[in-house]
Structure 1
Amino acid sequence: MTAQINEERAVAQIVHQQVQGMLTKDLDLLDRVIASDAKFGHITGQVQSKAEWLQQIRLGRMRYFGSREVLFQVTIHGDQAQVVMRNELDARIYGFRNTWPLQSTVKLLKGAHGWQIVESRASMY
């Protein structure tokens, strides 16, 4: 039981680091916690690669100001994990700023260097 709780904490830490990296525009942190082949599905249905998403942050086209966590659930099966979270995300996306009520499903894999995000899909709730 303790091992499972520790794994859940490790997964939660990675996802919280992603949110923190978004808010602080810490591209190095985001690069570490996200796998190189990760995909990001946005509320518009657009899917971006990690490189494309980080470029949008770098250019300021996606800017994140604040996040209030409403729900956070971790499920782990072996070396795969899924987090379902709801956040009220204050962001400016392509020039339009709003507080978005987002539900994200984040998938992670555990490799030799620990957990990394491999996929994230967002929708409105």
Structure 2
Amino acid sequence: MTKVEVINKKDFTKTQEEVLERFMEFQMAMIEKDSVRLDEIMSESYTLTHMSGKTQTKQEYIDEIMDGTLNYYKSIIDNPQITILEETKAILKADVTLDAKVYGMKGTWTLHSVQSMEKIDNKWYMSKWEN
């Protein structure tokens, strides 16, 4: 079984498919604790807002993944809805269920996620994740 799954997927355009694949790549980099890949996928201005309301910068988020504060084991992306706003901006909305250990608590959480993405030099980058 794969560590990143998509369920209830719709028929997407080529551009929407690119956005979804990039988000899946991001999820896999979180699970694999691949700091180089995370750095490549996230824009420099990236922010993540946790369920608790805590907001982190790109580097703060990567640091907590790498030091074991945030541990991700599996991701299920349910019913992704992708809106292309312009040629260079996209919004991915989905219920993302993460099997994780975060801040010492092990569990499975479903996040009602809104992921903003931007296309730079023909590649999609994560710019903001809100839960």
- TM-score normalized by the length of structure 1: 0.90
State the 1:15 CA deviation: 0.6
| C-alpha distance in structure 1 between counterparts of 2:15 and 2:77, whole Å | 20
State the 1:102 CA deviation: 1.1
Matches within 5 A, 1:60-75: 60-75=68-83
| C-alpha distance in structure 1 between counterparts of 2:34 and 2:121, whole Å | 23
Moved over 3 A (4+): none
State the 1:113 CA deviation: 4.2
The alignment partner of 2:124 has SS state of strand
Amino acid in the other structure paired with 1:8: Q
Q: Does 1:54 align with 2:62?
A: yes
The alignment partner of 1:70 has SS state of strand
* Count of residue correspondences: 119
| C-alpha distance in structure 2 between counterparts of 1:90 and 1:53, whole Å | 17
Matches within 5 A, 1:1-125: 5-78=13-86, 79-122=88-131
What is the CA RMSD across the aligned residues, in angstroms?
1.2
State the 1:68 CA deviation: 2.0
- 5+ residue gaps, structure 1, are none
Amino acid in the other structure paired with 1:92: K
On the 8 A contact 1:71/1:87 being kept in 2, the answer is no
State the 1:32 CA deviation: 1.1
The alignment partner of 1:14 has SS state of helix
| C-alpha distance in structure 1 between counterparts of 2:46 and 2:96, whole Å | 21
State the 1:69 CA deviation: 2.3
| C-alpha distance in structure 1 between counterparts of 2:98 and 2:46, whole Å | 21
Higher helix share goes to which structure? 1
State the 1:17 CA deviation: 0.6
| C-alpha distance in structure 2 between counterparts of 1:93 and 1:71, whole Å | 24
Identity %: 25
State the 1:112 CA deviation: 1.6
Q: What's the counterpart of residue 5 of structure 2?
A: none
